[in-house]
Amino acid sequence: MSAADTTTVPAVGDRAESRQFGPLTRTDFVRYQGASGDFQPLHHDETYAHAAGIPSVFSVGMLQAGLLATYATDWLGAHNIRRYTLRFQEQCSPGDVLTCTGTVTTVSPDPDGGDRVTVELNCTRHEGGIAIVASAEFIIT
């Protein structure tokens, strides 16, 4: 199902086609930092990161959260989303390729009309670690 066809209610177990983002770059990190106003040097300054005992710069976690949210809303429609919760698992570094996946876990009638669809979402690093686990609820009318 595509975002253009959000009147079709998915079934429990349906999976969205996976989507890749990346490879992530320092420029991606800096652009996100500029948009968010978070200029913590750990996310773009290699020398600063080393001085803090960190092997390299790493992404602001909300960058991956935004990519995963984009994936979910492209699937089921931004106008349909009602809740999005997530848990950060691993940091992402320059060069990481992220794969987003989603599975429908519940579908039930919504008291205000339409169907409430809950999905489980994952953002996995190319090395196999999970960067983010999330869930989202959508109302499909």
- Read off the pLDDT of residues 46-105 as tens digits, 9 standing for 90 and up: 999 999 999 999 999 999 999 999 999 999 999 999 999 999 999 999 999 999 999 999
Cα 122 to the chain's mean position, in Å? 7
Domain total in the chain: 1
Residues of the domain holding 133: 8-140
pLDDT band at 38 (very low <50, low <70, confident <90, very high): confident
Does residue 2 fall inside a structural domain? no
Cβ of 53: how many Cβ atoms within 10 Å? 6
Distances (CA, A) of 115 to 6, 90, 108: 11, 33, 6
Distances (CA, A) of 41 to 26, 30, 61, 132: 11, 10, 14, 22
Assign residue 130 the CATH number of its domain.
3.10.129.10
Query: Does residue 1 lie within any of the structural domains?
Result: no
Q: What is the pTM for the complete model shown? A: 0.91
Instruction: Say if 136 falls within a structural domain.
Output: yes
Tokens coding 41: 């040097």
Percentage of residues of the chain with pLDDT beyond 90: 91
